[in-house]
Amino acid sequence: MAKQPDFGDWIEHTCALNGRFEGRVIEKLSMQFIYKTDNGYERFCLYTEAWRKIPKLEKTDEDEDTHKPARNTKQRKKRKA
């Protein structure tokens, strides 16, 4: 029997037609499982297809983008009409 993921596992599914997707396993059936992507889409994957378990890195406060764009401190000169 082909390998099976557990509920809640993060997987990477490589589909020959549609490309590569990542998501969390939400349902297991007899020949396939269903996973939900970060975008909210539910996708199906056969146990015999190309997929693998991956570690899902949880976002921390340090991952937040704190970069602020630099402000232009020089005043623009007004053009004479």
Q: pLDDT tens, 50-67?
A: 999 998 766 555 555 555
In a domain, 61, yes or no: no
Q: What is the pTM of this model?
A: 0.66
Phi/psi of residue 62, each to 5°?
Answer: -70, -20
pLDDT at 80: 67
Whether residue 18 lies inside any domain: the answer is yes
- pLDDT band with cut points at 50, 70 and 90 for residue 75: low
Domain that holds residue 45: 10-55
Number of separate domains in the chain = 1
Contact call for residues 14 and 52 (beta carbons, < 8 A):
no
Cβ of 40: how many Cβ atoms within 10 Å?
7
